[in-house]
Amino acid sequence: NAGVMQNPRHLVRRRGQEARLRCSPMKGHSHVYWYRQLPEEGLKFMVYLQKENIIDESGMPKERFSAEFPKEGPSILRIQQVVRGDSAAYFCASSPSRQGVETQYFGPGTRLLVL
Amino acid sequence: GESVGLHLPTLSVQEGDNSIINCAYSNSASDYFIWYKQESGKGPQFIIDIRSNMDKRQGQRVTVLLNKTVKHLSLQIAATQPGDSAVYFCAENYSGNTPLVFGKGTRLSVIA
């Protein structure tokens, strides 16, 4: 049973470009969460999705950031017009049911560097 | 001993000794707590969890203690090994469908 998959593992973008980060949850998991981590800091919640629904996006910036989890395929975190401050590690986690009830399992992360 | 570095507090222990990592959580309504281990360049890895109706839970070489009175959580690692070197995060959650909130993390360094 494969764990949470994320790709790419590393992504380099120039300011103003778009970044698309992909996450495939563990088999049987229908709940996906995205977190952001700056160096030497803890993870900060961004968004919580179920298939085709955004449940909680309270941690996601209102502009330039969007997330989706379509019926088929991976969850996508999209950052438009990236700025240097977007450089961070972005982690995806999945669980079989809603947050607070089941443990979340994390992927290896995507490290975004904005030049 | 324990010291506070520029960013993450660091705990240095001798191989074979026991480690105790502490965490103060913020929300008195939180009822679910998790410890994660994060090695360099990797995602957080689940270690152990505990619900608020318990004050102690044991796993393999690890024990989590919960003190709700002072909002304190600790992770005890028995017979610490070099492979335990990592950053350890506590996370809290209120089962009313709120996001996981992570603590700042503690770097554990095992001296062989």
Which of B7, B31, B43 is opposite residue A40, by nearest beta carbon? B7
Number of neighbouring beta carbons within 10 Å of residue A102: 15
**For chain A, which residues lie within 8 Å of any Cβ of chain B, measuring from their own Cβ?**
4, 6, 33, 35, 39-45, 48, 55-56, 58-59, 91, 98-101, 103-109
Structure tokens at B16: 């074979």
* Rounded Cα gap, residues A113 and A12, in angstroms: 5
What value does the mean pLDDT take over residues A59-87?
96
CA neighbours within 13 Å on the CB side: how many for A41? 12
pLDDT exceeds 50 at position A105? yes
DSSP state letter for A32: E
Residue A100: what pLDDT? Answer: 54
Which of B43, B99, B103 is opposite residue A45, by nearest beta carbon? B99
Which of A44, A56, A106 is opposite residue B44, by nearest beta carbon? A106
Which of A4, A99, A109 is opposite residue B99, by nearest beta carbon? A99
Residue B6: what pLDDT? Answer: 45
Number of neighbouring beta carbons within 10 Å of residue B83: 9
- A49, A99, A102: which to substitute to probe chain B, counting the most B Cβ within 10 Å? A99
**Neighboring chain B residues of A6 at a CB cutoff of 8 Å:** 43
pLDDT exceeds 90 at position A114? yes
User: Each residue's pLDDT tens digit in chain B (112 positions)?
Assistant: 433 334 678 999 999 999 999 999 888 888 899 999 999 989 999 999 999 999 999 999 999 999 999 999 999 999 999 999 999 999 998 765 678 889 889 999 999 8
> Strands B9-14 and B106-111, how do they pair?
parallel
Of A79, B93, A12, B68, the residue nearest B103 (C-alpha): B93
* Rounded Cα gap, residues A80 and B34, in angstroms: 33
- A24, A34, A36, A106: which to substitute to probe chain B, counting the most B Cβ within 10 Å? A106
Backbone angles phi, psi at B10, to 5 degrees: -125, 140
Q: Residue B74 is which amino acid?
A: S
Strand partners, A79: A19, A65
* Rounded Cα gap, residues B60 and B48, in angstroms: 9
Share of chain A above pLDDT 70, in %: 95
Q: What is the pLDDT of residues A19-28, one digit of tens each?
A: 999 999 999 8
Q: 3-state SS string over B40-76? A: CCCCCEEEEEEECCCCEEECCCEEEEEECCCCEEEEE
